Structure 1
Amino acid sequence: MKKQILFVDDEPNILSGLRRMVRSMREEFDCLCATSGREALEILDKNQVDIVVSDMRMPGMDGAELLTLVKKLHPRVIRIMLTGYADDKSVLRTIGVVHQFLSKPCLPEEIRASLVRAGATYDLMSDSQLKELISGIGSLPSLPSLYVRLQKALQDPDTTQTDVAAIIETDISMTAKILQLVNSAFFGLYQKVSSVSRAVNLLGLDTIKALVLGTEIFSELHTSSKVFSVDSLWNHSMATGAFARKIAALEYNDREMAEDAFLGGILHDIGKLVLISFMPARFEEAVLLAREKEMVLVEAERQVFGAGHDDVGAYLVGLWGLPGSVVEACCFHHRLERFPGQELSPVLAIHVADVLSHQLHPDEIIGTPSGYNTEYLARLDLSDRVESWHNLCLGEQ
């Protein structure tokens, strides 16, 4: 089924250029255009739009305001920002709102690749069985309060690492958890860290944000179960994040990409946490089915719920407005064959890290462990990299 894209820009020439860029994809996408935020909202009210691509700087309602309203009024729509002003303060207002940023000018292949990925993600997030499952859960959890405070503080370009440390230190349990984590084997630091300020300085703001988000989610969405260990899930998620970052850093030499892999690794199984917290009886049924039939847990979930924790996780972090790479990590880490990217990506790093983490703690696996997607690795000519990734992450364990 075709997707509907809405391009929003106050310059007609740019809109014409965007339409030309995706003309070769007319079998997959239909294009709508708007020259203002108000016009875009009117189109959204009258049409089933799947993806909005908006310019940032527009007179009247700018892109940040528009996409904030789109998130509120049409939360299932994928939101992409097109901007040439990466350091503009207005861009910072879109934290938690935009799924993906594209820079202007943007190459046609970049636009097309982003739309293909967004369309694939939307398919999973809009699955009818998933919608039924989500409606059974009722209200999904909101972004944790401390993470929201950090996000707001970081929108201010004058915020310092000392300011961030002061926010974390207002929460005693968070302070203790951050110090515990920074001194753990996950980070391999060769010095004892005894203050949050020092932890922020050593790890950087992106890592601290990821830790705060993961820690708060796991502490708030917590339930007791005789067949499922939330503590084991936390350890697995942390290990997956740490391994994914190592793999991404090795292959990309790109700090932002490595941090995306780290955050995606921490949150890749968040759907399990939602299911065990809000639908414990049915999730335990899936756990027992996976053990009895020696199935991969996500396949047992699909039998019980009609959707898996990967679907639920992608839906949740998409609604939260977390980076598109995190949504993709939740969506595709168990099914790389459906991921449209044809390069080594954070999703692939997380897929490999997930397998490696289970190899490290095989006693914590529920049912049958999921293995490497060997066909996908071969298609990308990366099969010979697996041993290097294994040695990098598990060589010193």
Structure 2
Amino acid sequence: MADAPSIIFVDDDPNVLSGLRRRVRAKRPNWRLQFCDNGEEVLNLLQSRHSVDVIVSDMRMPVMDGAELFRKVSRLYPEIGRILLSGYADEHANLLGTSATHHFLMKPCDDQSIINAIERALILRSYLRDPYLLGVMSCLPGHYLWPTAFRNLQTTLYHEGPISEENLSHYAMDHRECVTFIQRYARREGLIGENSTATLHHLFEVLGIESVKALALLFEIYGNGDITVAENDPELIRALIMAEIAARIGRHENSEFENIDASRAASLLAHIGSKLIETVLPNQSMTARHIADKNQCDIISAEIDVMGISHAGLSACMAALWSFKHEIIEDIAFHHRPESAPTGRSSTLATVYAAQHFAREYGRSGRLVKEKYPLSERYLATVGIGEKWTAWSNIARETVRLHEMR
């Protein structure tokens, strides 16, 4: 049992814990389950000795609610999966909780939904322990691991308690160019007016927490804190176009706001691993690209052959380090090979896959890369989007056209 997954359930209602203990043990007898009735007990367990893979917590608890617990866990034990259950009707309360949460489930939810969320967390946790990936991460300079603007945003969101407009205003004053960069992206999508100077709080409301976090990261990693450098980097421009396509497809499908946020953020971060690999392994990265071009094979295969890792794997590993949601980490990890993802019919992964395909097809090098990345008709049929493809393609073509006019 030493290697069995370790899960902690937290709820101040003993009847809820009793029911979970009985039902989850019956369905997953190999899991090591622990049950706590308050957040302080969880923190004491973690501090003492316990190796824990996933925590599942209720939101509403006295003294320390689930949001506060997860803010503390994210700071002290960022590798632990965090799943929040909430019955709140208050959207602001949910926003506070999900900022430090990998997965969010609205109560009432059935046992299988909870088990599925835990299993996704466990699969991704195992995937992201690859020693080659961890080796590359250990060589990254500090300003790539924790860029200043992003680190300060994390502190504001996770560690200072409830998010207030005052805290966000202070952040915006300290990081004006970063916030301007995020505003300009929001204008691209038509989410704020051309002359709007939307507050950071409003940007969270129209883009979502995950997208704002991802944009802050890109600003620093590609632009090194300089908005002119950022907006002229071709790889960053590609990421912005891909994200915009994903978001516009999501809105066309009337997707939930959280799903649009997730697919946009995953699209923004999907290729950040390429930038980081070029920093740590420049010669091997160049060799992999040369092999992919020469042999007309996909870049993932070439990267793994040359380095033992792929940019998708490193992007996902970094997204986990940066506490993005499990859904986003999965979408990043499998954006080239969605049929291999543990969640077989993820709508957000399908959107990210489509956005990447269209960004290639309608980009300047579309004709050159199309043969290297044939469309997976089988995957499209599996997720049921084959009939939507033409409409999505038109959305993407128009998005690229608008970008070229700007």
TM over 0.5: yes
Residue 389 of structure 2 aligns to a residue whose secondary structure is helix
Provide, for residues 171-211 of structure 1, a one-character-per-residue CA deviation record: whole Å limited to 9, x for no partner: 5544654565455xx4368x97134239997x773428666
- Of 79-88 and 385-394, the range deviating more from structure 2: 79-88
Q: Is 1:221 matched up with 2:221? A: yes
- In structure 2, what is the Cα distance between the partners aligned to 1:38 and 1:217? 32
For residues 92-131 of structure 1, the aligned pairs below 5 Å read 93-94=96-97, 96-131=99-134
Deviation at 1:164, TM superposition (A): 6.3
Query: Per the alignment, do residues 252 and 125 of structure 1 end up closer, same or farther by CA in structure 2, a change over 3 Å counting?
Result: farther
Task: Name 1:84's counterpart in structure 2.
Answer: 87
Q: Which amino acid aligns with 1:74?
A: Y
Residue 249 of structure 2 aligns to a residue whose secondary structure is helix
Query: Per the alignment, do residues 354 and 20 of structure 1 end up closer, same or farther by CA in structure 2, a change over 3 Å counting?
Result: farther
Task: Name 1:142's counterpart in structure 2.
Answer: 146
Task: Name 2:18's counterpart in structure 1.
Answer: 16
Deviation at 1:392, TM superposition (A): 2.4
- Which sections of structure 2, spanning at least 5 residues, go unmatched? 225-230, 402-406
User: Is the Cα contact below 8 Å between 1:290 and 1:366 reproduced in 2?
Assistant: no
- Of 63-72 and 294-303, the range deviating more from structure 2: 63-72
- Of 238-247 and 41-50, the range deviating more from structure 2: 41-50
- Which sections of structure 1, spanning at least 5 residues, go unmatched? none
Q: Which amino acid aligns with 1:321?
A: S
Query: Per the alignment, do residues 255 and 3 of structure 1 end up closer, same or farther by CA in structure 2, a change over 3 Å counting?
Result: same
Task: Name 1:152's counterpart in structure 2.
Answer: 156
- In structure 1, what is the Cα distance between the partners aligned to 2:59 and 2:132? 35
- Of 322-331 and 358-367, the range deviating more from structure 2: 358-367
Q: Which amino acid aligns with 1:332?
A: F
Task: Name 2:269's counterpart in structure 1.
Answer: 267
Deviation at 1:99, TM superposition (A): 0.8
Q: Which amino acid aligns with 2:325?
A: P
Task: Name 1:205's counterpart in structure 2.
Answer: 205
Q: Is 1:74 matched up with 2:74? A: no
Task: Name 2:8's counterpart in structure 1.
Answer: 6
Query: Per the alignment, do residues 118 and 86 of structure 1 end up closer, same or farther by CA in structure 2, a change over 3 Å counting?
Result: farther
Task: Name 2:379's counterpart in structure 1.
Answer: 376
Query: Per the alignment, do residues 192 and 46 of structure 1 end up closer, same or farther by CA in structure 2, a change over 3 Å counting?
Result: closer
Task: Name 2:251's counterpart in structure 1.
Answer: 249
Query: Per the alignment, do residues 98 and 285 of structure 1 end up closer, same or farther by CA in structure 2, a change over 3 Å counting?
Result: same
Q: Which amino acid aligns with 2:383?
A: L
Q: Which amino acid aligns with 1:108?
A: D
User: Is the Cα contact below 8 Å between 1:54 and 1:81 reproduced in 2?
Assistant: yes
Task: Name 2:194's counterpart in structure 1.
Answer: 193
Q: Is 1:327 matched up with 2:315? A: no
Query: Per the alignment, do residues 367 and 244 of structure 1 end up closer, same or farther by CA in structure 2, a change over 3 Å counting?
Result: closer
Query: Per the alignment, do residues 349 and 20 of structure 1 end up closer, same or farther by CA in structure 2, a change over 3 Å counting?
Result: farther
Query: Per the alignment, do residues 298 and 197 of structure 1 end up closer, same or farther by CA in structure 2, a change over 3 Å counting?
Result: same
Residue 32 of structure 1 aligns to a residue whose secondary structure is strand
Indicate the structure with greater helix content.
2
Residue 109 of structure 2 aligns to a residue whose secondary structure is coil
Deviation at 1:359, TM superposition (A): 0.6
Tell me how many residue pairs correspond in the alignment: 387
- In structure 2, what is the Cα distance between the partners aligned to 1:174 and 1:199? 10
Normalised by the size of structure 1, how large is the TM-score? 0.80
User: Is the Cα contact below 8 Å between 1:97 and 1:320 reproduced in 2?
Assistant: no
Residue 197 of structure 1 aligns to a residue whose secondary structure is coil
Q: Which of 383, 395, 398 is residue 392 of structure 1 equivalent to?
A: 395
Deviation at 1:351, TM superposition (A): 1.0
Provide, for residues 118-177 of structure 1, a one-character-per-residue CA deviation record: whole Å limited to 9, x for no partner: 2222222223332233233365522552684498389767639xx968864665544654
User: Is the Cα contact below 8 Å between 1:291 and 1:367 reproduced in 2?
Assistant: no
- In structure 1, what is the Cα distance between the partners aligned to 2:31 and 2:377? 31
Query: Per the alignment, do residues 28 and 282 of structure 1 end up closer, same or farther by CA in structure 2, a change over 3 Å counting?
Result: farther
Deviation at 1:111, TM superposition (A): 1.3
- In structure 1, what is the Cα distance between the partners aligned to 2:204 and 2:273? 27
Q: Which amino acid aligns with 1:374?
A: E
- In structure 2, what is the Cα distance between the partners aligned to 1:171 and 1:37? 33
- In structure 1, what is the Cα distance between the partners aligned to 2:308 and 2:121? 22
Query: Per the alignment, do residues 181 and 388 of structure 1 end up closer, same or farther by CA in structure 2, a change over 3 Å counting?
Result: same
- Of 303-312 and 358-367, the range deviating more from structure 2: 358-367
User: Is the Cα contact below 8 Å between 2:70 and 2:101 reproduced in 1?
Assistant: yes
- Of 310-319 and 337-346, the range deviating more from structure 2: 337-346
- Of 367-376 and 266-275, the range deviating more from structure 2: 367-376
- In structure 2, what is the Cα distance between the partners aligned to 1:47 and 1:13? 25
Q: Which of 348, 358, 361 is residue 359 of structure 1 equivalent to?
A: 361
Q: Is 1:239 matched up with 2:241? A: yes
Residue 196 of structure 1 aligns to a residue whose secondary structure is coil
- In structure 1, what is the Cα distance between the partners aligned to 2:110 and 2:10? 18
- In structure 2, what is the Cα distance between the partners aligned to 1:199 and 1:12? 40
- Of 302-311 and 358-367, the range deviating more from structure 2: 358-367
Task: Name 1:258's counterpart in structure 2.
Answer: 260
- In structure 2, what is the Cα distance between the partners aligned to 1:16 and 1:199? 42
Q: Which amino acid aligns with 1:258?
A: I
- In structure 2, what is the Cα distance between the partners aligned to 1:158 and 1:219? 23
Normalised by the size of structure 2, how large is the TM-score? 0.79
Q: Which amino acid aligns with 2:13?
A: E
For residues 19-38 of structure 1, the aligned pairs below 5 Å read 19-23=21-25, 25-26=27-28, 29-38=31-40
Provide, for residues 29-82 of structure 1, a one-character-per-residue CA deviation record: whole Å limited to 9, x for no partner: 443323333443454454442211122334454433433343334322211112
Cα RMSD of the aligned pairs, angstroms, is: 3.8
